[in-house]
C-alpha cells in the first residue's frame, strides 16, 4: 500500500496569511494526488485533483503543485471559511489512501 504523510499536522494562521501544506507519498504516484478539506460534522470537499487542477467552484486562492512523491497545497490568502482540516489522497492505486490530515485553525 502507498503510505501518505502530511506536514504540518496542525498550524495556526491569521486571515490573509499564505498557508502551505505538504504531502509526501511512499512511492511515485505521478499526478494522482487530490486535496480535500473537511469541516466538523460535514463530508469532505474536493479542492484540487490531479495534483494541480482546481475543482469547479473552488476559489482561485487554492492551488496545488507537485508530481511523483512530493506535493503542495497553497492557500494564497486565508479566509475565515478556510479554517478546516485538509487531507491529501492518492488515487494511483488501491487502496486509495488518505494522508493523516492538517488542521488549520485561527491564530
Partner 1 sequence: EVQLVESGGGLVQPGGSLRLSCAASGFTFSSYWMSWVRQAPGKGLEWVANIKQDGSEEYYVDSVKGRFTISRDDAKNSLYLQMNSLRAEDTAVYYCARQGRQWLAYSYWGQGTLVTVSS
76: part of which helix (H) or strand (E)? none
Q: Which member of 10, 100, 105, 106 binds partner 1 (CB under 8 A)?
A: 100
Helix, coil or strand: residue 17:
coil
List the beta bridge partners of residue 37: 45, 86
**Is 86 a residue that touches partner 1 (CB under 8 A)?**
no
Cβ-based nearer residue to partner 1, 17 or 31: 31
Site for partner 1 in 56-75 (CB under 8 A): none
29 φ/ψ angles, rounded to the nearest 5 degrees: -120, 20
Kindly state the cell numbers that stand for 102. Answer: 492538517
Site for partner 1 in 15-34 (CB under 8 A): 31-32, 34
Residues 6+ apart with CB under 8 A from 79: 15, 59, 61
Give min distance, CB of 62 to partner 1, in A: 14
Q: Considering only the stretches 14-22, 64-72, 74-82, 97-105, report the one whose residues sit in contact with partner 1 under the rule CB under 8 A.
A: 97-105
Asked whether 62 and 48 are in contact (CB, 8 A), the reply is yes
Residues that bind partner 1 (CB under 8 A): 1, 31-32, 34, 36, 38, 43-46, 49-50, 53, 55, 85, 87, 89, 91, 94-101
Amino acid at each position: 500500500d502507498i503510505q501518505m504523510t502530511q506536514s504540518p499536522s496542525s498550524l495556526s494562521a491569521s486571515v490573509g496569511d499564505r498557508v502551505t501544506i505538504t504531502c509526501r507519498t511512499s512511492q511515485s504516484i505521478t499526478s494522482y494526488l487530490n486535496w480535500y478539506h473537511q469541516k466538523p460534522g460535514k463530508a469532505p470537499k474536493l479542492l484540487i485533483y490531479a495534483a494541480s487542477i482546481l475543482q469547479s467552484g473552488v476559489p482561485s486562492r487554492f492551488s496545488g503543485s507537485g508530481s511523483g512523491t512530493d506535493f503542495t497545497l497553497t492557500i494564497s490568502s486565508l479566509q475565515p471559511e478556510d479554517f478546516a482540516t485538509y487531507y491529501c489522497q492518492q488515487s494511483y492505486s488501491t487502496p486509495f489512501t488518505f494522508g493523516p490530515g492538517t488542521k488549520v485553525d485561527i491564530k
